[in-house]
Amino acid sequence: MPQSIPRTHLPQRVFTTRRIPCLDANCHRWFKTAPGLKHHQSSAHNYSFDPGATEPERNSYRSTPIRLAPGIVRDYHDKLTGDICDPNGQAIDQNAPPPVSEQSSDDWAPYSDRLQFETAEFLFQKTEMSAGNVDRLCNLWAHSLHVDEPEGRRAPPFIDHKDLYGTIDATLLGDVPWESFKLKYHGERPVVTPPWMDQDYEFWFRPARSLVANMLSNTDFDGEMDYAPYRDFSKESEKRRYENFMSGDWAWSQAVRLQ
């Protein structure tokens, strides 16, 4: 070998034996470090689950306890529990009623009354009726009301589909206002400028954070969503069972990062 070529020695790695056993009686794995053991316990075994806790205690943030499949136990995150709290994050009584809405119970605005609201809900959401059929129904409805009243002092909930759609568009969803901004291209231009480079583009949106806050405060969703990450295990094999979004590893890892 030529003497002009320098030779270097690679640093020798330190060998570490696996000296930490898994504490599960049916598991025979060993680990080099405590973090490695902890990761194994979190992914393969259910060590944070309290078998002595009652089901309502494991689901303290729910007004309706979860009904799990036979042979399944559920482990919720011990820090991010989803318990009810005030705007400052201070825990409050889990049985406390929701805040009273300032809106009157008989205030159906922008709908004139409950009949108009339920008609819109039925035509637009339940049956998804076409515009032509909405117009036909409104005409028939109006005719039935005017049979005995030729002066037409009564009217159906909506005149036609335009009246229906306009009322729906005026409906406030949790009082989250629409916001907008405009964009326009300001980069380099070719010799022949395409029309889109000279146009203004307007974007409308609602703040996602405000929308999520309104969803969480809506009592109609109570018991219909998971507010905290969880992990399901089989009692016999202790194998993980994945079902909904909050039962996955990503949701759990995000909760660990936020501790």
Predicted local confidence at residue 57, as pLDDT? 45
Residues 6+ apart with CB under 8 A from 72: 232, 233, 234, 235, 241
Confidence of residue 203 (pLDDT cuts 50, 70, 90): very high
Domain boundaries, the chain: 104-173
SS3 at position 34:
helix
Predicted local confidence at residue 105, as pLDDT? 67
Mean pLDDT estimate for the chain: 77
Q: Bridge-partner residues for 76, per DSSP? A: 230
Dihedral sign, Cα of residue 249, residue 253, residue 255, residue 259 = positive
Confidence of residue 64 (pLDDT cuts 50, 70, 90): very low
Whether the model clears a pTM of 0.75, i.e. scores above it, the answer is no
Listed residue (125, 119, 121) closest to 157, CA to CA: 119
Judge whether residue 222 has pLDDT over 90. no
Confidence of residue 66 (pLDDT cuts 50, 70, 90): low
Please, what is the end-to-end C-alpha distance for the chain in angstroms? 57
The answer to whether 80 and 61 have CB atoms below 8 angstroms apart is no
